[in-house]
Chain A
Amino acid sequence: MSNEEEFELIKEFLRGKEKAFNKLVQIHQKNIYWLARRMVGNHFDADEITQQVIIIMYQKLKKFKFNSSLSTWLYKITRTRSLNLIKRNKVKNFFSLNDSSVKQKATEDNIFVDLENKEKIERVQKLLNNLPVKQREVFLFRNFEELNYEEISKITGKSIGALKANYFHASKKILEMMKNEN
């Protein structure tokens, strides 16, 4: 769907057509979920973030300025929410003695289509989880979302030079980890 068509849907929603909002969610929900999931590393947290982003989208779409694409705007929100959750989880894990990952794992197992798919996703996630967050986000935007540095810079607010350096280190680490797998 082109930006113009999306903008038309946003305007329809702002005029009160709830169906337009449903359509926008259907278009973007998978991108939001997968970005969040690769950032935070599990379905449980990704689900929470995806829901939060859709709620924000519903509440704040009236503030959308039509300067950038809706996906850029949504990536920005998803990234911020993911980073916040990662920080929160770090603090929580530092102070908590309970292991909440058992419950999360049970939820996660139910959503895979098949075992092969589950293994693939888990392998990639393991590699991504070993990257520092700064490198992980730029690697995801470049490799998975296929965005250029200018677009990533708009989303993250970081300089293109810093993004290039982070991407270089992220790619290098990923290749090394792949070699070690074999």
Chain B
Amino acid sequence: MKINEDLFLKYNSDLLPENEKMEFEKLLTKNPEIDEQFNAFKTKLNSIKIDGKIDERYFNSLLPKVREKIDNKIKKKTIPKLAYALPLLVLISYLVFNYTNNPVPNNISKEDNFTELYNNVDLTNSYLSDLFLTESISLTEDKLVLNLGSDFLKDINNLQAPEIIIDEGAFEENFYNNYVNYFPEDELNKVYTELHSSNNL
């Protein structure tokens, strides 16, 4: 075994194979000179390990500095959360308020809608009387709105009536044929009777 610094380095780094390691350890116990050389090597290598000292005030000020940074981080995290939460809260409040004050009607049947429409009709001066009792109707869409009142076309749409072709000539036939189907027989009779009596037809 060659005794040199490389051997010391290998032993110190735990790089020697087990048999060489045991052999070297035997040498150290038997040969004081080698033991001394090895100790000198270790002392030299460890001389780099100095206990550095710096101002203790630095370490004393470290924790308050870090505490301040941690607090700032927590604040920074909280503000963006609020920035999102507040407008969201306003929006939700608005929607809830709007919904509770203007509930959306549902389950309105065609029949309900028609009954409502029918009840609102002033039979003495109504467009229905014009519609059913005029001998011939020839209208364009503009004229229809003008003649029947602006809401009538909307009412027709609400009733989801079958396709109405607003066309001169064809209108009368389509409208009458399709619309009369919506009227139950007894209601038609009732309307007719009332109209008859009010207009002395």
Chain A contact residues, CB within 8 Å of chain B: 22, 25-26, 29-30, 33-34, 37, 43, 47, 50-51, 54-55, 58-59, 110-113, 117, 120-121, 124, 127, 143-144, 149, 164-165, 167-168, 171-172, 174-175, 178
Is A54 within 8 A of B48, CB to CB? no
Starting from the known contacts A149-B14, A172-B6, 13 additional A-B residue pairs (CB-CB under 8 Å) come to: A25-B66, A29-B59, A47-B58, A51-B69, A55-B69, A58-B66, A59-B70, A111-B55, A165-B15, A167-B13, A168-B9, A168-B10, A174-B48
Is A29 within 8 A of B62, CB to CB? yes
Q: Knowing A30-B59, A164-B15 are in contact, say whether A113-B73 is a contact too (CB < 8 A).
A: no
For B52, B55, B59, B73, which residue has the most chain A Cβ atoms within 10 angstroms? B52
A105 to B101, CA, bound (A): 70
Smallest CB separation, B50 vs chain A (Å):
5
Q: Which one of A34, A55, A168 contacts B66 once the chains associate, using CB atoms below 8 Å? A: A55
Q: Knowing A117-B53, A124-B50, A164-B13 are in contact, say whether A171-B45 is a contact too (CB < 8 A).
A: yes
Q: Which one of A58, A120, A165 contacts B52 once the chains associate, using CB atoms below 8 Å? A: A120
Q: Knowing A50-B62, A175-B44 are in contact, say whether A113-B69 is a contact too (CB < 8 A).
A: no
Contacts of B45 in A (CB 8 A): 143, 171, 174-175
Chain B contact residues, CB within 8 Å of chain A: 5-6, 9-10, 12-15, 44-50, 52-55, 58-59, 62-63, 65-66, 69-70, 73
A sample of 19 inter-chain contacts (CB < 8 A) reads A30-B59, A33-B59, A34-B52, A43-B54, A55-B66, A110-B55, A111-B58, A112-B54, A117-B52, A124-B50, A124-B52, A143-B45, A164-B13, A168-B13, A171-B13, A174-B45, A174-B48, A175-B5, A175-B44
For A22, A165, A167, which residue has the most chain B Cβ atoms within 10 angstroms? A167
Q: Which one of B15, B48, B69 contacts A168 once the chains associate, using CB atoms below 8 Å? A: B15
Smallest CB separation, B64 vs chain A (Å):
10
A102 to B63, CA, bound (A): 26
Secondary structure class of chain B's binding surface, majority of residues: helix
Is A171 within 8 A of B52, CB to CB? no
Contacts of B69 in A (CB 8 A): 51, 55
A47 to B57, CA, bound (A): 13
A168 to B5, CA, bound (A): 11
Contacts of A172 in B (CB 8 A): 6, 9
Is B48 within 8 A of A55, CB to CB? no
The 4 A-B pairs at the shortest CB distance, nearest first, are namely A168-B13, A121-B52, A54-B66, A111-B54
Contacts of A33 in B (CB 8 A): 59
Contacts of B44 in A (CB 8 A): 175, 178
Contacts of B55 in A (CB 8 A): 110-113
Smallest CB separation, B67 vs chain A (Å):
9
A157 to B73, CA, bound (A): 31
Q: Which one of B14, B47, B50, B66 contacts A121 once the chains associate, using CB atoms below 8 Å? A: B50
Contacts of A43 in B (CB 8 A): 54
Contacts of B46 in A (CB 8 A): 143
A144 to B5, CA, bound (A): 21
Contacts of B65 in A (CB 8 A): 51
Contacts of A51 in B (CB 8 A): 62, 65-66, 69
